[in-house]
Structure 1
Amino acid sequence: MELLLLAIAPAFIVILYIYFKDKFEKEPVSFLFKNFILGATASILLTVVLGTIAAKLIPLTNETSVVQQFLKAFIVVALVEEFSKYVIVRFYAQRNKEFNEPFDGIVYAVMVSMGFAALENVLYVFQYGVSTGITRAFTAVPAHATFAILMGYFMGKAKFSKNRVALNISGLLLATLFHGAYDFFLFINFIPGISIGAFVSLIIGIILSKKAIKKHQERSLFKG
């Protein structure tokens, strides 16, 4: 039970943070929960399928090859995972009547992403233990949240724009870019000191995420 709480607590802290940042028109808890569950099930399943295909199309045989680790980080991992989340937000949340202001893009992208991150965390923590859970609480989970906010910012704009396709894809690509950069610097840890790049990219992502949240708050359709 303690391991389970350690694994899921970081995701729920992020969820509560975003829920209270949605100041002017809270989303229905039942619909939020459905998006969370889809993130933990459908997006995970899609990631497994697409990841298997990507790994076969892009053979990764040399763990000390910078090029191969770049392909692994940006395509096999980042693009596959972010696309798997994007599909849920795009074809489930964004089409729902509850998605009725730009900030909702951030809310639902985070819900899907935290469903994904929670299950992923459970698997890692039960396999590798408490230390892994503590480390991921301050790295992987905030990273997933950051990627989701960046994606959701553009998907929120897309819902109310004539340039819906371009904005939706921009969100997917930006999330993939930051996710890929974060993983890439961790994957090439055979180069001394290079892993600091992952934390630099995460900090930049967090700064941009805070700005994205503030912008959508200011543009809320329900602001008094």
Structure 2
Amino acid sequence: MFVLISAGIAPGIALLSYFYLRDQYEAEPIGMVIRSFIFGALLVFPVMVIQYAFIEEGLIVTAFSEAFLLSGLLEEFLKWFILFYTVYQHAHFNEHYDGIVYAVATSLGFASIENIFYLLASGIDDAIGRALLPVSSHALYGVVMGYYFGRGKFIENKSKVKFLIFSLIVPVLLHGTYDYILIKITQKWFYVMIPFMIFLWWLGLRKVKLANKRQTELLMKNNQIPTSEQ
């Protein structure tokens, strides 16, 4: 069991460490990051209960509703809700990139516990595939969510609400698309999934770069770093 639990949580820790270390300026307090990870892990239990109830009652009857509502909207909304009420107004959320760190931590907390349950039920043979697909995809939804959280936090006009809406809607659409591919395409699904995952990684790494760039521009504007460091 120890091996299964380790295999289940290791990809999440590795991905969280990767995105945590991509912060070019002030690193976030480890305690805050761990707290977000734990909050995300705890979300697995209400999500499982709600999904089970909807399925048992026959309220979800199409691939679209299962992918975009029962998985995409439910899971991403709960992550968004946790971030908004535990991180968004916190004093440590003081850089554009911070939104990515906390959103990735929350997403990977969720993905890690979900992954452990899956491996306990199915065995360790699927560990590599799980790490490459569902765990990494959750991390990338978190990157996108956190990027727009950062934009909403630091933009100085009426676009705050717009970016907070984007921080929910875009991850829901990405998550729903991922699940829809798995549900709808029963044979040779990897021919669609591999390009989609490449797109997700491209999008996520682009958001990482943009978040750091925006923080650099903000610091330059406030004369906190030399122009040559841009």
Cα offset for 1:57? Answer: 7.5
Please give the alpha-carbon distance, in whole angstroms, between the structure 1 residues aligned to 2:86 and 2:133. 28
Describe the SS at the equivalent of 1:82: helix
Match of 2:71 among 77, 95, 103: 77
Matched, 1:95 2:89: yes
Deviations, residues 17-44 of structure 1 (Å, cap 9, x unaligned): 0111012000001111111111101x22
> In the alignment, residue 161 of structure 2 is paired with which amino acid?
V
What is the match of residue 48 of structure 1?
48
Aligned-partner SS, 2:121: helix
User: Using a 3 Å threshold, how does the CA distance of structure 1 residues 210 and 5 change in structure 2: closer, same or farther?
Assistant: same
Q: Percent identity over the alignment?
A: 32
Alignment of 1:1-224 (within 5 A): 1-41=2-42, 43-52=43-52, 55=55, 56=57, 58-60=59-61, 68-161=62-155, 162=157, 163-190=159-186, 192-220=187-215, 221=218, 224=225
Q: d(CA) in 1 for partners of 2:97 and 2:58?
A: 37
TM-score (norm. length: structure 1): 0.89
Length, aligned pairs only: 215
User: Counterpart of 1:79 in 2: which secondary structure?
Assistant: helix
Cα distance change of structure 1 residues 122 and 194 upon mapping to structure 2, 3 Å threshold: closer
Q: Which runs of 4+ in 1 moved over 6 A?
A: none
When the two chains are superposed, the root-mean-square deviation of aligned CA atoms in Å is: 1.8
State TM-score, norm by structure 2: 0.87
Answer with 1 or 2: which has the greater Rg: 2
CA separation in 2, counterparts of 1:51 and 1:103? 32
Cα distance change on mapping 1:12 and 1:222 into 2, 3 Å: farther
Instruction: Identify the range of structure 1 (115-124 vs 154-163) with the bigger mean alpha-carbon deviation.
Output: 154-163
Q: How far apart, in 2, do the equivalents of 1:184 and 1:125 lie?
A: 22
SS in 2 for 1:139: helix
Structure 1 runs not aligned, ≥5 long: 61-67
